Chains A and B, each alone.
Chain A
Amino acid sequence: MAKPKVAVYWSAACGGCDVKVLDTNEKILDIAAAVDLLFWPIALDFKYKDVEEMADREIDLCIINGGIRNSEQEHIVKLLRRKSKVVAALGACAISGGIPALANLYDAQSILDYVYHKTTSIDNFQGPLPQPEYDAPEGRLTIPKFYDSVFALDQMIDVQYYIPGCPPPPSLIVKALTAFLQGTLPPPPATVAGEGSVCDECPRERNREAKVKKWKRIAQFTPPADTKKCLLDEGFFCLGPATQAGCEALCIKANIPCEGCMGKPQGVTDRGSKMLSYIASLTDASTEEEAKKILNDVVDQAGLLYRFDLPKSLIGGRRKE
């Protein structure tokens, strides 16, 4: 029997997801032996032309990490969609925009203006901005168009499987690939992750009576390492209760509050507001003013609540006409 054909692509991503595919350690050799890798820009020397020359639906599994930030990425994921039977989104960026999508709180013009004119490390004395097209004496030069917003992968193309995390734990990647090779993947669309929320996997103990007077940031306070108390009870902004299980509470075991990279749990539409209601019920305030004061002290609320899923949330980002 012919080996299944697999392609891997990265769009608006940092490369961490690709590294995690390699981080499956010795299993990567089994994976490489079991499949035919047709395209993987970060690891193998194939060109876009090779993909264009493939027959439609020739790729059996196409794994895409990263959201869609510019016209090149949109073109390639749509091309890969046409050439693939199954598309899997790997990592928070592909599933819900991820950290690059926090830029949806701004628009393209203000981002370019800041990056090319206002950052202290830049000396752009003539002040030009990158142009998608430029007529040089030698001919027309083009670069991809920078979009106003970052899109999650399934806002551009149909996606059958989701492997969450930032980056996804190698155990989940192995689980998904093994299921693919054995043909035991659940009917799509499906997420390959754990059951319940991160709290179900967390070893710390909750105190149901706990109330919080001040929300602390990990940058300013370090949680005491020896305690087994719940980080939320201690006043750290931990997104565990509103995050899909599957990571085995990796960060919390390392004394770092959960940032929510595994995405929203099943049945939740808007994770940030779900978390907000959790935070509100833990906050110890008897009057509205007191509650406002405590919650206004939280720095970067949007970044905390919607760090990985702004384009897929109900608020979506800055309104663009």
Chain B
Amino acid sequence: MSSFSVTEPTQRSKWIAGALVISYALITMIPLVWILLTGFKSPADAISYPPKVVFDPTLEGYVNLFTTRTRQTQEFLEANPPQNWADEIVRQYDMVIVGPSKFGERFMNSVIIGFGSTFLSIFLGTLAAYAFSRFKVPLKDDLLFFILSTRMMPPVAVAIPIFLMFRNLGLSDTHLGMILLYTGVNISLAVWLLKGFIDEIPREYEEAALIDGYTRFQAFYKVVLPQAATGIASTAIFCLIFAWNEYAFAVLLTSANAQTAPPFIPTIIGIGGLDWPAVAAGATIFLIPVMIFTILMRKHLLRGITFGAVRK
């Protein structure tokens, strides 16, 4: 065995590569760790300078995030002892919990709108991509270009026309409106990505299914869809991340009813300014669904990104 190999990296280059990857991972993780830690700090610790790395963890931020509170007189506080641990936390500021905050509702809006628009984008995108990939569509190239052209400017550029359209159609501040909007933005991405994936699936699989006695549609969902799962998963992640994180349209088009979490989180006001621990707690919880979704799809995602690079 030779000591030098062209294909096998040397021990030293492995070390360097490892060190680079780890430092990059650390750098990208710092903001996330910061948010996670801030969520467990007291308001005073959160804004202390120099920043505290060691501190007494408290659930204050999370309690503040999920509740609305009001200041009470000493007599009232003495007459009504704290009901639970959350109550005890707010008592230190002479406050009592009067009810849940809007956060749960906003979070659910994000879930409904984010996953709803992702589902719709993938559903329509897969059908359209299949049609573009397999059938003779008149003006196919022009249509594909037209679909892509909707991505050639930032969506916010058309915010005002969309605002007016939504107002006239009664879609302002509705879940349906936001789902349609995010689907509209995502669908071009979905069609293009999925078309690439479906193009890679040999037609013979469907033809074999047709011969085996299945209809065209059965062949599509029994043979093509499982093959396209990789592409669907990675496309779904991209669509979800866009819809989940979208801020500008959410600010503009939603308020009392269909507001999503991104525009809500910064509005969490505490005593004497922004309640940073509550904001950080909101951000932490807000990260979780996308993280879980991505972890579930990770295997597909990795394959998806390298799909087509190597002939199987």
Does A associate with B in a complex? no
Interface residues of A (CB under 8 A from B): none
Interface residues of B (CB under 8 A from A): none
